[in-house]
Amino acid sequence: MNQPIWHEPLVTRSQRWNKHGLAGATVWLTGLSGSGKSTVATELARELLNTSRLAYILDADNLRHGLNSNLGYSDDDRIENIRRMAEVACLFADAGLVAIVPIISPFTASRELARKIHTDRQLRFIEVHVATPVDECERRDPKGLYAKVRSGQMTGLSGVDSAYEPPTSPDVVVGARGETLPESVEMILRSLLVKAGS
């Protein structure tokens, strides 16, 4: 069986970054459904835009319409979904963008793999735990998923009838102490060493 051969680009990352003033990284937002991951991601992208930093949100639901459309919600499929998301984020970060990934990513091992994919390629990976309590997530229930689980219409919701393993040592924690959206974004920007509004 043929094995793929890695081709080292002749235009290097440092050349690309230095030429355009870029510094790629991935911000990985993990948390329960309804925790506010997408809201934080959107505001973070907007603030990075204000600071002239290129950023792109890799929305997990959106990628299930294309790249990950062949995956379901079994544990194995979720693991593969996260692996693919990490690989794509790594490409974006290598290009010089800040890849923002709001994804439940319920398993510790998968998040560790996502980090390893980045560290092996010497790219920054910032794990943000959007630690909104489950009762608040259920109160918000923006997609109606908690209601469907409670009524028996669906199963497999992380943190309710499926596992969610919270990070034990994330780089940033937001949502646990009632931080406002601007405060949460500011905490992430500090981790990225970007000053808001500058």
Q: What is the 3-state secondary structure (H, E, C) of 103-162?
A: CCCCCHHHHHHHHHHHHHCCCEEEEEEECCCHHHHHHHCCCCHHHHHHCCCCCCCECCCE
> What mean pLDDT comes out for the span 127-156?
89
pLDDT band at 198 (very low <50, low <70, confident <90, very high): very low
Domain boundary assignment for the chain: 22-192
Residue 121, pLDDT > 50, answer yes
* Residue 182: C-alpha distances to residues 11, 98, 141 (Å): 37, 18, 22
Whether the Cβ atoms of residue 89 and residue 99 lie closer than 8 Å to each other: yes
Instruction: Give residue-wise pLDDT tens across range 143-192.
Output: 888 888 888 898 888 877 888 999 999 999 999 888 999 999 999 999 99
CA separation for the pair 105, 82 (Å, rounded): 6
Catalytic residue among 33, 35, 38, 105: 105
Instruction: Give residue-wise pLDDT tens across range 35-88.
Output: 999 999 999 999 999 998 999 999 999 999 999 999 998 889 989 999 999 999
Q: What is the pLDDT of residue 195?
A: 59
Q: Which carries the bigger pLDDT value, residue 130 or residue 163?
A: 130
Tell whether domain 22-192 is in CATH 3.40.50.300: yes
Q: What is the pLDDT of residue 196?
A: 59
Q: What is the pTM of this model?
A: 0.91
Residue 74 bears catalytic tag:
no
Q: What is the pLDDT of residue 162?
A: 82
